[in-house]
Structure 1
């Protein structure tokens, strides 16, 4: 990998089992992403966008090929090693917020740093992360007491609290109305610039995709245009 390359995908195939037999979802993806780049992944439903994103996160294992991120080969890691790598290298924002309902906003955000054993410094970091997404006044509120837009802000703060070099977003505005969705995307791109992270985002919204440095379109498990 060159010095300015953060992510390299080589001949990536992913097949998943079904009752009718294996389904070949990704069919030989080759992709290089530079440090600090923003990538919009687009394409019709079923084209493999979310599967590609989950494979880049190490949440889906490739059937064939290689994923190298930040000079680490994800394809060679076991589940424990992948979990440790994600803690400090990858932030993920999903369409569904995936907050723990019995934890406050503050506790949801601090959880990744607690699991990583990063000491008491996480307390101040969590307050700062929530303030950066406009929720300094909602630290002690539970997810059920927050609006959808506020829950996604908590999820975004949790994703970036460890200042990972990579932020993956899977339809981050899919469950939000237009106003909240626009605010979340402004926050995501603002954090991308301030933290210098590399952003890879799945979206059906071409307006959002055009805000990225580059658009990569998938069709039938293959890159259609880049």
Structure 2
């Protein structure tokens, strides 16, 4: 699994002039969120010393639950090497946008190993997974070639043959959301009861978001497995 940042919100000069503190190095996303909050009350002169710094201002925003100011910043990521099972769970977050590798045009490449299976020492597990993938791949290839020989178009043959592929089929996608959306995803998928594969993805997304907007996710912490 690999997560790569593709794009993120940039603050304009208006934002920087209004809210950036000369002695701090706050990120663009955090400053945009503060700007959105301050415009609600026209509090540009920062009358409250307790919320003068960006980190303190956003800490108060998060504590009060005023998450709407986080909807003005966005981030898009390339997510590679995850299972179709994970994809099914990820796309339940309908506030996010997804562009997914198409099985109508792209043949299956490989399978993704679930974290629980990856930590097992029994060699039979890998053998079962490899044999299962090989069998599914062979069946896919046979169906695809049969349908092509029967006169179907490539995408028609691929979409039909893909029906025999398992949920661990590996895929790549682009996912984007505003920071309120990313926080909602993290609040659910960092939970210890979440599917371990998607929890691992959430951990990597959090690491990226901590770089992009540390003050906007300052209250999110990782829990250790019992």
Task: Report which of the two structures shows the higher radius of gyration computed on alpha carbons.
Answer: 2
TM over 0.5, shorter chain: no
Greater strand percent: which structure? 1
Greater helix percent: which structure? 2
Q: TM-score, normalised by structure 1?
A: 0.29
Q: TM-score, normalised by structure 2?
A: 0.29
